[in-house]
Structures are given as C-alpha cells and as structure tokens.
Amino acid sequence: MKIGEIYDLLDALSPFELQESWDNSGLLVGERRQEATNVVLSVDIDLEMIEEAEVGTLFVLHHPLIFKGLKTLDWSGYPARLLRRMVKKDQSLIAMHTNFDQTHLNRYVFEEVLGFEGAACEGFVCIAKGAWRSDTLLEEVKKRLGLGVMRVVGEHREVRKVALTTGAGGSLMDTVDADLFLTGDIKFHDAMKARAEGLMLADIGHYESEKPFAEALAPHLKNLPIPVIIAQSKNPFTYI
C-alpha cells in the first residue's frame, strides 16, 4: 500500500492542519509513492523497535522523531542514529501529535481509559461533572493508568468537576475551570501557582497518559489491506 494513501486516510481522520504551530506532525521520513508492507503504531520509537520491524515498515507515532530543525546528521547522536537505520531498512514515519490530541486521544483516555462519562472536550481539555471523593478518584486514576506514584498539588475533599489533558498540559492551567486537573509534566512554578489559586493538580505522567495512543488509533485502520501492529516504546523513566 502506498504511504500517500495511508497519509490521506490519517489526514481525513485527524487533519494535520490542526497541529500547533510549534509541532512537526505529518510525513517525516519517506515519500508518498513509497510502498509500506505493514504499519506499526506507537507513542515513540527506539532502536530496538526499528531493528525488530521488517523492511518497508511504516511507523505511525504520536511524538515526532524530528522535532526541531536538524543542522547536522551525526550518526552517533539522536535522532540521526535512528534515522540512519530507518533509511537503510526502507522504513518510513508519520507523526500524529497535537492534531490527534485534539480530535481523539484526550477524549479516548478520559472516557475509555479513565471511565469518565458525559465529557465535554474542547481543544486539548476534556471536562466531566459529577461528585467524587478526591482520594478515591485519584486511586482509581492511578490504577487505570498503571501509576505506582502520583504527584498531587492542593487538596479538595470533594471534586465536582475534573479536567484532563494528556501529555504536558501545565501551560493550559489558566484556561481550566475545574476542581481537579489531570495532566503530566507539571512544573514546580505551575504547582505553586495552582496551589495559591485553589486548583488541585495531579501529575499522571507524560508517557503514561499518552501510552493509549496506539489503542485509540488502531480501530480506525482495521480495514487496511496490510497488517497494523500495536507496539510500545519503552518509558525512558524508571521509578525507584
């Protein structure tokens, strides 16, 4: 199957033009006329995945492997080392990042993974109303995301409105109208601000909150005439 055909399908599902100005989603490695033998879905990519994948694989990732402008291609560095091996194996790569966050991933994690019902999703933020004890709710979130620990800022015994942004959503804090905001990569100064303003924050991890990317995308590719494989790169962090 031509990469261009798969790209067009993905673009219809989650338009690449929706990506943020700083993002780099789209076809990053390969060309539209190139043939793909199979599709591998993952949040990120590592050398082990590249080596295990067959020649002609198309990787559809959440995070762009090429993010900022490359001034050199030093094969010993990152991401050049990975790119070199992909090119040798005639592999290609499409990234679906902030466009897919807005159209699918946040809602999928909020509703299908965490089980919130009646969500209102606008842009990168999903919100649900209800009545929860914060300690019970956070324990359930930890369980569903497989979190051993969770950093929490502030305290509300009762939560009437909960919001979520997968990945790193701290910059959206001022736009969130909720008692509890679930997001990842919470910075120290954002935590201080949230505490002063009475917003409860829970750090659900960048990798952990976006890990369901492949599960969210796979059903939309089930009719492709080539295999679609769900894979996962390894979390770069270990917890001790």
Residue type, 32: R
Average pLDDT value for residue range 225-233: 94
Distance of CA 229 to the CA centre of its chain: 17
Average pLDDT value for residue range 150-175: 94
Alpha-carbon distance 196 to 201, whole Å? 12
pLDDT of residue 121: 95
Alpha-carbon distance 140 to 88, whole Å? 45
Residue 219, Cβ density class (10 Å: 0-12 exposed, 13-18 middle, ≥19 buried): exposed
Number of helical (H) and strand (E) elements in the chain, helices listed first: 9, 11
Report the topology of domain 100-209. 3.40.1390
Give the residue extent of every domain in the chain: 3-96, 100-209
Residue 19 pLDDT greater than 90, yes or no = yes
Supply 171's token pair. Answer: 């910059």
Q: Given CA atoms 118, 111, 109, 19 in this order, what sign does their dihedral have?
A: negative
Q: Where does the pLDDT of residue 152 fall: very low under 50, low under 70, confident under 90, or very high at 90 and above? A: very high
Phi-psi region of 117 (alpha: psi -120 to 50; beta: other; left: phi over 0): beta
- Right CATH for 3-96 from 3.40.50.300, 3.40.1390.30, 3.90.1150.10, 3.40.50.410: 3.40.1390.30
Instruction: Give the DSSP letter of residue 28.
Output: E
Q: What is the H or E stretch that residue 47 is in?
A: helix 47-52
> Among residues of the chain, what percentage have pLDDT more than 70?
100
* 64 upstream amide cis, omega within 30 of 0: no
Q: End-to-end alpha-carbon separation of the chain, Å?
A: 44
Residue 32 pLDDT greater than 90, yes or no = yes
Coil vs helix vs strand at 128: strand
Alpha-carbon distance 187 to 220, whole Å? 35
Residue 82 pLDDT greater than 90, yes or no = yes
Q: Where does the pLDDT of residue 70 fall: very low under 50, low under 70, confident under 90, or very high at 90 and above? A: confident
Q: Given CA atoms 60, 64, 69, 74 in this order, what sign does their dihedral have?
A: negative
pTM for this entry: 0.95
Rg of the chain in Å (alpha carbons): 19
Residue 111, Cβ density class (10 Å: 0-12 exposed, 13-18 middle, ≥19 buried): middle
Coil vs helix vs strand at 161: strand
